[in-house]
Amino acid sequence: MPHHMVDDRWLCATRMSRYASRLTLEITRLRVERLRQVTHTDISAEGTIPLVGNYMGSYREEWDKNHRKGQKWSDNPWVWVVDFKIGEVRK
């Protein structure tokens, strides 16, 4: 049975042993900031695809779709910002 399966059930990646991971990320910086402090560079790094070249508008729409009341763009919540680099990659 593959290492990502337990009793024929899928095993969540956070429960896998480290040897089973294909990618290791190294955290290079960790900080807290207000959501609306995000920059175009940050948004691009998140992988947001802009609609008609508007990164901020696209990011705001995606954010509001995925977050509940009290965590919306207009609430400007505190967020964790995690910068990382790709460490080990295995095939």
pLDDT in tens, 29-70: 999 999 999 998 898 888 888 776 788 888 999 899 999 999
Distance CA 89, CA 91 (A): 7
Number of CB atoms found within 10 A of residue 22's CB: 9
2 domain-assigned: no
60 domain-assigned: yes
46 domain-assigned: yes
The pTM score is 0.71
Number of CB atoms found within 10 A of residue 36's CB: 13
Domain count across the chain: 1
Instruction: For residue 38, give its domain range.
Output: 13-89
How far, in whole angstroms, is CA 45 from its chain's centroid?
10
84 domain-assigned: yes
How far, in whole angstroms, is CA 86 from its chain's centroid?
14
Least confident of 26-30, 52-56, 86-90: 52-56
79 domain-assigned: yes
What confidence score (pLDDT) does residue 38 get? 94
8 domain-assigned: no
66 domain-assigned: yes
Is-contact 47 59, C-beta < 8 A?
no
34 domain-assigned: yes
